């Protein structure tokens, strides 16, 4: 084992004896493209709804609940899929979230929420994670589609335009403060502000 | 005896069937006499009235109707979305009408600190209104109009 490491280290530190510099540079470049492309493709595959609902935890709980809401079916046919709301769109934030998701892989392996009862028991905690995230980034994932600057208050109902032109406009409140449970059912809301 | 009984039963059955057959066209059904094997084109779904303007009540005890949409509002064991605006504590912010005091009473008439569980499920009595033509004409006349008619008739 020690010898093997030694040989490896020597190969890495010594100049190449057989391959030309051009081959190594070009080869490395092409391998880099393939690796990077492959990495991003794999990442994008995990960023689809099909991937999310391939686990029964997601398919049987949150996905079924989403189906009844306006973010699934509506007059104009624009749809939000899981990653639209749950994964940041900017690359660095996305990678950070994907690293956090390793905890979810752990949960999947050990069946933390593999029954409806377990899911319900964890629901408040899971919901709070998402509320905190959206509160911290000023509901960025909502705003990726719902841009405040382009909201036409005259098209909104009186109550909506009142709230949006005061509390939301001043930055005192952010989307998630009022719009909790818009895509999934709510947990026990005891002690949650505004409920 | 047995034959008499069975023939009686059969004739009774025949009678019912003929009554049903005769009434087939007379009874207005939700299917509008569409053949059972056919699918009727559904009516367009009317819009929910969302004007936030109070409607008149037809009699004093009538539960007021909801003048806004309530799509996705959860009222269950975990939470009650209506109370986000209509609870006693939030009416100052929301300027929504407070849940009436009767909802705080238990069945012995004593006031509780919170909404009584028997009055918790808002949609049992309060419903939003659709912007639709009534299916049948409503001939309801409220007490006020009745009394007015009576006084004008006696004069």
SS3 B128: strand
Report the distance separating Cα B66 and Cα B133, nearest Å: 18
Answer whether residue B24 shows pLDDT above 70.
no
Answer whether residue B18 shows pLDDT above 60.
no
Number of independent structural domains in chain B:
1
Answer whether residue B9 shows pLDDT above 90.
no
Choose among A181, A7, A146, A127: nearest CA to B76.
A181
Q: Which residues of A162-189 are buried (b: 16+ CB within 10 A; e: fewer)?
A: ebbeeebeeeebbbbbeebbbbbbbbeb
Q: Is residue B80 assigned to a domain?
A: yes
B68 interfacial to chain A (CB closer than 8 Å): yes
Least confident of A135-149, B13-27, B55-69, B80-94: B13-27
Q: In percent, how much of chain B has pLDDT > 70?
A: 81
Judge: A195–B79 Cβ closer than 8 Å, yes or no. Answer: yes
Min Cα distance A5 → chain B (Å) is 59
Judge: A159–B52 Cβ closer than 8 Å, yes or no. Answer: yes
B38 interfacial to chain A (CB closer than 8 Å): no
| Domain interval for residue B109 | 46-132
Q: What is the pLDDT of residues B89-116, one digit of tens each?
A: 999 988 899 999 999 999 999 999 999 9
pLDDT at residue number B55: 92
pTM beyond cutoff 0.90: no
pLDDT along chain A (195 residues), means of 10: 89 85 94 95 92 93 94 93 92 91 91 94 94 94 94 90 93 93 92 84
Residues in chain B with CB shorter than 8 Å from the CB of A188 are 77-79
In the CATH scheme, what architecture does the domain A22-146 have?
Orthogonal Bundle (1.10)
Residues in chain B: 155
User: Helix crossing, A91-100 with A102-110: angle to 10°?
Assistant: 30
pLDDT at residue number B104: 96
Which of B54, B78, B95, B115 is the best substitution to test chain A (most A C-beta atoms within 10 A)? Answer: B78
Judge: B74–A185 Cβ closer than 8 Å, yes or no. Answer: yes
Answer whether residue B52 shows pLDDT above 60.
yes
Which residues 88-127 on chain B approach chain A with CB closer than 8 angstroms? 90
pLDDT at residue number B12: 55
B60 interfacial to chain A (CB closer than 8 Å): no
Output the CA–CA distances (angstroms, integers) from residue A187 to A18, A120, A125, A195, B116, in the order listed.
64, 8, 9, 11, 21
Q: How many CA atoms lie within 13 A of B99 on its CB side?
A: 26
Q: Is residue B37 assigned to a domain?
A: no
Report the distance separating Cα B11 and Cα B18, nearest Å: 11
Confidence band (pLDDT; 50, 70, 90) for B31?
confident
pLDDT at residue number B4: 57
Choose among B112, B90, B91: nearest CA to B101.
B112
Q: Is residue B143 assigned to a domain?
A: no
pLDDT at residue number B6: 60
Q: Start-end ranges of CATH 1.10.3820 in chain A?
A: 22-146
* Residue of chain A whose Cα is closest to the Cα of B80: A195
**Secondary structure, 3-state, A67-78:** CCCCCCCCCCCC
User: For the domain that residue B74 is a member of, what is the CATH number?
Assistant: 1.10.1130.10
Judge: A157–B52 Cβ closer than 8 Å, yes or no. Answer: yes
């Amino acid at each position: 084992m020690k010898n093997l490491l030694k040989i490896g280290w020597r190969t890495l530190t010594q100049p190449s004896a057989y391959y030309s510099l051009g081959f190594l540079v070009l080869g490395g470049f092409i391998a880099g493209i393939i690796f990077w492309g492959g990495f991003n493709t794999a990442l994008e595959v995990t960023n689809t709804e099909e991937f999310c609902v391939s686990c029964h935890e997601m398919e049987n709980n949150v996905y079924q609940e989403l189906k009844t809401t306006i973010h699934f079916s509506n007059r104009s046919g624009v749809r939000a899929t899981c990653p639209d709301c749950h994964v940041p769109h900017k690359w660095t934030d996305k990678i950070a979230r994907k690293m956090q998701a390793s905890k979810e892989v752990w949960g999947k392996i050990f069946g933390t929420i593999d029954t409806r009862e377990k899911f319900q028991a964890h629901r408040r905690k899971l919901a709070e994670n998402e509320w905190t995230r959206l509160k911290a980034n000023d509901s960025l994932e909502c705003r990726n589609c719902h841009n405040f600057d382009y909201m036409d208050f005259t098209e909104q109902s009186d109550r909506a335009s009142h709230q949006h032109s005061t509390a939301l406009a001043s930055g005192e409140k952010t989307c998630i403060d009022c719009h909790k449970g818009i895509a999934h059912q709510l947990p026990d809301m005891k002690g949650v502000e505004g409920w | 005896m047995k034959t008499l009984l069975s023939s009686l039963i059969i004739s009774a059955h025949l009678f019912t069937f003929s009554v049903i057959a005769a009434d087939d066209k007379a009874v207005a059904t939700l299917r509008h006499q569409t053949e059972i094997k056919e699918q009727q084109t559904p009516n367009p779904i009317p819009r929910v009235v969302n004007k936030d303007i109070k409607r008149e009540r037809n009699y004093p005890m009538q539960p007021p109707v909801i003048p806004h949409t309530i799509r996705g509002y959860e009222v269950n064991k975990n939470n009650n979305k209506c109370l986000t605006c209509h609870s006693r504590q939030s009416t100052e912010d929301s300027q929504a009408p407070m849940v009436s005091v009767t909802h705080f009473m238990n069945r012995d008439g004593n006031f509780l600190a919170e909404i009584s569980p028997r009055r918790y499920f808002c949609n049992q009595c309060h419903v939003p209104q659709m912007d639709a033509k009534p299916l049948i004409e409503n001939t309801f006349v409220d007490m006020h109009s009745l009394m007015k008619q009576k006084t004008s008739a006696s004069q």
